[in-house]
Structure 1
Amino acid sequence: MRITLRQLAVFEAVARSGQVAKAAEQVNLSPPATSMALAELEKQLNARLFERIGNRLQLNSQGNLLLPLAADLLHRVEQIEQAFTPQGGDLVGQLSVSASSTIGNYLLAKAAVAFCQQHTQTHVEVAITNTQDVIQSVAQFRAEMGFIEGHCTDNRLHIEPWHKDRLLVFCHPAHPLAGQTVKSFAVKGQSWVLREEGSGTREYFVNAANELGMQPESKFCFTTPDAIKLAVKQGAGLGVLSELALEKEISRKELALVTIEGLVLERQFYRITHKSRQATSLGLAFVQFCSNFFHLSRE
């Protein structure tokens, strides 16, 4: 058996992206060469590693067995290369990151662009989804690290505080509660426009609201902040989003805030990594860059 590092790199890229064409771009091969490398690996292992679901390739049980082993080996190779790279040499390579919606759209997207502009031989791929999907992505080694808004109880993962945020309740400017400070019972029975199940924003708000006996009922659920803001602008009810997502609309008075007495919506963001996966030098550099980047942005 002669498994090559190239084959394992192709396998990991296909596992992350779910598509041969995208994986080919990541490993700098043509799609036919990428398909051939994957086929040769499966032949040498005498095992299928993926199942085709629609237009995507999804890891099967054999692929899930191989992925952490391949990721660990490729990481060790990267460590060897870094150990023999002259100090001060620029960073090189690709970093796969997964982030929940608010963090991805309003923090990591701009940080990733700025990082890659500074380190021109790197590429940071940011997959934006909800908290539960981010957890699964890191747990299944599809992403080196994840950034989440909600709770994580997966004992395979290491969780550390990363950034802070505040949720705001908002409404149409003509809503009777616009600009008001009200008691919690005043919003009972109101229609709410919330994020979908699995969203960290939704989970945090519902838990805090229920502690006050509000029992918010969602009339509409959407997966993106823009859809929620549009629905609220149409008078669909009260919405809840991060202040990061509302800054523009509030300043333009396109939306209005509602303050609910006793409702504390300051929350912690978290960075998650797999306990069995050591951080790459590129990953560590990105985390440090983000810390400096957001610190300067707040000043």
Structure 2
Amino acid sequence: MRITLKQLTIFEAVARSGQVARAAEMVNLSAPATSMALSELESQLDARLFERVGNRLRLNSQGSLLLPLATEALQKFDQIEHLFSSPEAELSGTLNVSASSTIGNYLMAKSSVAFCQQHTSALVDLDITNTLAVIKSVLEFRSEVGFIEGQCLDSRIRVEAWHKDKLLVFCHPAHPLAGQRVAPQALKGQPWVMREEGSGTRDYFISSAQALDMQPIERFNFSTPDAIKQAVKQGAGLAVLSELTLEKEVSRKELAIIEVEGLELERQFYRIHHKSRKSTPLCDAFIDFCRSFINVAT
């Protein structure tokens, strides 16, 4: 049994008007086509829906049972059409986003809240993890867009330069090198508190340090900037994090910066999408919003 919206529309029009000819005008069909559609509906339901009284059609008990259900179904269909044809529809629903730690905590969290405050029918579901996990989430279609600090070489992913960031080497304020500009060799043999495997910050720093033969010695590794900063405050060693994460502690003199000659730690952040997934209007609007919001904020 395949009842169509057209049949329900014609049935409701006949029920309201009491005449096939008048119902035909209401639904913009010919009288024969209207009568045929009504007959097909009765045949599919195996039930008569009207009784003829003079020149009018009146609902019988079966028709009276169907009318409120048909009206409700047509109203639901109208709601669906309105929802997806209105300008607000494109900026409604849930957008799944993944971001690596620094980007997620210091850029995307604020951006997501501001975007949802401006577009109250939208929800940004932000998952903050590390670069490898973000890439995996996009590959598995769990996230429509990802923001990463490290490299992505998977051919299934479209990678676009998005925002720039600077990493800083820092230490306890009482460390002998605190506040100094030193040669890379001065850091040889120093213990380091590192980010975990899979972190874009970790990968970028190690690559840059190896190019200068710094040979960093990993003493601890943690998955969050807060844990790393706390370890450095306890004298566990040197560390490197985004300047986004250090502003408060450096201004309070809880941590100190070490400048390393030749160590260029400006890095590129990237936005990633799966190549086979078409970006939704909600995702496009979010990306545009973040670009403006972050530029103003930073």
Give structure 1 stretches of 5+ with no counterpart. 1-79
Alignment of 1:1-299 (within 5 A): 85-87=85-87, 91-298=91-298
CA distance in 2, matches of 1:239, 1:273: 31
Q: Is this contact kept in 2: 1:162–1:269, CA < 8 A?
A: yes
Q: Is this contact kept in 2: 1:194–1:202, CA < 8 A?
A: yes
What is the number of equivalent residue pairs in this alignment? Answer: 219
* TM-score computed with the length of structure 1 as normaliser: 0.71
Query: What SS does the corresponding residue of 2:270 show, helix, strand or coil?
Result: strand
CA distance in 2, matches of 1:117, 1:154: 35
Query: What SS does the corresponding residue of 2:91 show, helix, strand or coil?
Result: coil
Q: 1:275 to 1:89 in 2, by over 3 A?
A: closer
* TM-score computed with the length of structure 2 as normaliser: 0.71
Query: Structure 1, residues 193-214: CA drift from partner, whole Å, max 9, x if none?
Result: 0100100000000000000001
Give structure 2 stretches of 5+ with no counterpart. 1-79
Q: Is this contact kept in 1: 2:164–2:268, CA < 8 A?
A: yes
CA distance in 2, matches of 1:216, 1:187: 8
Q: Is this contact kept in 2: 1:148–1:200, CA < 8 A?
A: yes
Query: Structure 1, residues 227-261: CA drift from partner, whole Å, max 9, x if none?
Result: 00000000000010000000100011100000000
CA distance in 1, matches of 2:85, 2:238: 55
Structure 2 residue identity aligned to 1:117:
Q
Q: How far did 1:103 drift?
A: 0.2
Query: Structure 1, residues 20-75: CA drift from partner, whole Å, max 9, x if none?
Result: xxxxxxxxxxxxxxxxxxxxxxxxxxxxxxxxxxxxxxxxxxxxxxxxxxxxxxxx
Q: How far did 1:86 drift?
A: 3.2
CA distance in 2, matches of 1:81, 1:257: 58
CA distance in 1, matches of 2:82, 2:193: 48
Identity across matched positions, percent: 64
Q: 1:83 to 1:210 in 2, by over 3 A?
A: farther
Q: Over alpha carbons, which structure has the higher Rg?
A: 2
Q: What's the counterpart of residue 12 of structure 2? A: none
Structure 1 residue identity aligned to 2:207:
N
Q: How far did 1:90 drift?
A: 7.0
Q: Is this contact kept in 1: 2:83–2:89, CA < 8 A?
A: no
Q: 1:180 to 1:117 in 2, by over 3 A?
A: same
Q: What's the counterpart of residue 71 of structure 1? A: none
CA distance in 2, matches of 1:83, 1:183: 62
- Which shifted more, 95-104 or 289-298? 289-298
Query: What SS does the corresponding residue of 1:128 show, helix, strand or coil?
Result: strand
Q: Is this contact kept in 2: 1:162–1:268, CA < 8 A?
A: yes
Runs ≥4 residues deviating over 3 A: 80-84, 86-90
Alpha-carbon RMSD across the aligned residues, in angstroms, is 1.6
Q: How far did 1:96 drift?
A: 0.3
Q: Is this contact kept in 2: 1:194–1:222, CA < 8 A?
A: yes
Q: Is this contact kept in 2: 1:90–1:119, CA < 8 A?
A: no
